[in-house]
Copies of this chain bind each other. A is one copy, B any other.
Amino acid sequence: MKRIGILGGGQLGRMLLQQAANYPVETWVMESDPGCPAAGLCHHFVKGDIRNADDVVAFGRQVDVLTIEIENVSLEGLQALESEGRSVFPNSHALGIIRDKSVQKVFYAEHGIPTAPFRIIEDRSDLHRNLDFLPAVQKLATGGYDGRGVQILRTEDDLPKAFDARCVLEKLIPVHKEVAVMVAIDAQGGQTVYPAVEMVFDPLLNLLDMQVCPADLTESEGWKVEAVALSVARNLRSPGLFAVELLLDAAGNVYVNETAPRVHNSGHHSIEGNFCSQFDMLLRLLADYPAGNTDTILPSLMLNLLGEEGYAGTPVYEGLGEVLAMENAFVHVYGKRETRPGRKMGHVTLLGGNRHDLMHRAGIVRRTLKVKGTERI
């Protein structure tokens, strides 16, 4: 049996493991918290630090193929494993490009991939020398995650809140639409693309809040986003699954926002909405099976379940029964032991009907299903 190792034990690992049980593979997870969402569903759980090169190497030597469910892993560890001939999805080359946003932006520019104009800023003083570039989005080069490490600087007045670290300063694109396209690249370089999904962000938490599939794009916009996403994935020269986030302006110009080299929040709808889910797809890549069918079964809407404001402690799921009574509402709770405001605790996928129906039903889910906690904070 092929031994598949996953660095990280969050919900992405958990959903990957649910699917892994369909195949003759042995699953290994490394994560520092033995109570993490993925711990109970793997054959072998290893307590370790995914950011520590020694831990990653020791773990990787026990498996045949390695993948990640979070970018924040030891690149040095992965490189050492690759030099021993072990397969890593994505490879350290691609991960190295992606996880430093300044390197990622330069990669887009060098490969003629459309992205918002940008400057690389070393620190706050460097920022002061680039005031002519505002308004702009400031993105920390490293360490950002789930909306943390990204903010808008409109004028000089915003400078006090600016990050004092290496970052990307990116021209503010007047966003008309935001979409994501998932691309699978197999070990032989074969490409498979998913239909684009359209995303709606929560303006407060800057978390991916809701997404609809298929995206409402014109034919030419559809072709463009697909071509650009494929170009990103191909040029990274790595096997794996890549979630390419793209922005469109009102004129239909496409800009790559960023890329995640792994299963991604923007692909959760695929569990019920597409014949081959993103998790099934990644497993097929890892086990060297052919890619699955990415066709849409029915239009879908996915919304994240975030921990309610004012609550912490053991999660309490209110309104689950009411939501499950809705036709084709699929609930995924991630089994996290603690809730806190804005934490991703699960997601709900709604299938069927047109976009307006889906949005209407999403509103009902939002008002009905709440993740509270045993502690008021």
Using CB atoms and an 8 Å cutoff, list the residues of chain A in contact with chain B.
Answer: 14-15, 17-19, 21-24, 40-43, 272, 275, 284, 288-290, 292-293, 297, 315, 317, 320-321, 324-325, 327-328, 330-333, 335, 351
Among A18, A21, A332, which residue has the most Cβ atoms of chain B within 10 A? Answer: A21
Among A19, A24, A292, A320, which residue has the most Cβ atoms of chain B within 10 A? Answer: A24
Select A18's contact among B18, B315, B333, beta carbons within 8 Å: B18
In contact, A290 and B18 (Cβ under 8 angstroms): no
Select A332's contact among B22, B40, B328, beta carbons within 8 Å: B22
Q: Which residues of B contact A21 (CB under 8 A)?
A: 14-15, 17-18, 41, 335
In contact, B333 and A290 (Cβ under 8 angstroms): no
In contact, A315 and B41 (Cβ under 8 angstroms): no
Bound complex: CA A40 to CA B40 (Å): 7
Q: Which residues of B contact A43 (CB under 8 A)?
A: 40
Bound complex: CA A14 to CA B324 (Å): 23
Q: Which residues of B contact A15 (CB under 8 A)?
A: 21
In whole Å, how far is A347's beta carbon from the nearest beta carbon of chain B? 10
In contact, B332 and A24 (Cβ under 8 angstroms): no
Bound complex: CA A43 to CA B36 (Å): 12
Bound complex: CA A21 to CA B320 (Å): 15
Q: Which residues of B contact A330 (CB under 8 A)?
A: 22
In whole Å, how far is A374's beta carbon from the nearest beta carbon of chain B? 12
In contact, A321 and B41 (Cβ under 8 angstroms): no
Bound complex: CA A278 to CA B324 (Å): 15
In contact, A23 and B331 (Cβ under 8 angstroms): yes
Q: Which residues of B contact A42 (CB under 8 A)?
A: 40
Contacts A24-B317, A40-B42 given; indicate if A289 touches B332 (C-beta within 8 A): no
In contact, B288 and A24 (Cβ under 8 angstroms): no
Q: What is the chain B residue whose CB lies nearest that of A315?
A: B24
Bound complex: CA A293 to CA B326 (Å): 9
Q: What is the chain B residue whose CB lies nearest that of A326?
A: B290
Bound complex: CA A284 to CA B40 (Å): 21
Q: What is the chain B residue whose CB lies nearest that of A20?
A: B18
Bound complex: CA A320 to CA B315 (Å): 41
In whole Å, how far is A193's beta carbon from the nearest beta carbon of chain B? 16
In contact, B40 and A325 (Cβ under 8 angstroms): no
Q: Which residues of B contact A317 (CB under 8 A)?
A: 24
Q: Which residues of B contact A324 (CB under 8 A)?
A: 284, 289-290, 292
Q: Which residues of B contact A325 (CB under 8 A)?
A: 290
In whole Å, how far is A208's beta carbon from the nearest beta carbon of chain B? 19
In whole Å, how far is A102's beta carbon from the nearest beta carbon of chain B? 38
In contact, B24 and A335 (Cβ under 8 angstroms): yes
In contact, A321 and B40 (Cβ under 8 angstroms): no
Q: Which residues of B contact A40 (CB under 8 A)?
A: 41-43
In whole Å, how far is A178's beta carbon from the nearest beta carbon of chain B? 27
Q: Which residues of B contact A19 (CB under 8 A)?
A: 18
In contact, A321 and B22 (Cβ under 8 angstroms): no
In whole Å, how far is A271's beta carbon from the nearest beta carbon of chain B? 9
Which 10 residue pairs across A and B have the least CB separation, nearest first? A290-B325, A289-B324, A24-B333, A22-B332, A18-B18, A40-B43, A18-B21, A290-B324, A293-B327, A289-B321
Q: Which residues of B contact A351 (CB under 8 A)?
A: 275
A-B contact pairs, 18 of them (CB 8 A): A18-B18, A18-B21, A21-B335, A22-B330, A22-B331, A23-B331, A24-B317, A24-B335, A40-B42, A41-B41, A275-B328, A275-B351, A284-B324, A289-B321, A289-B324, A290-B325, A293-B328, A297-B297
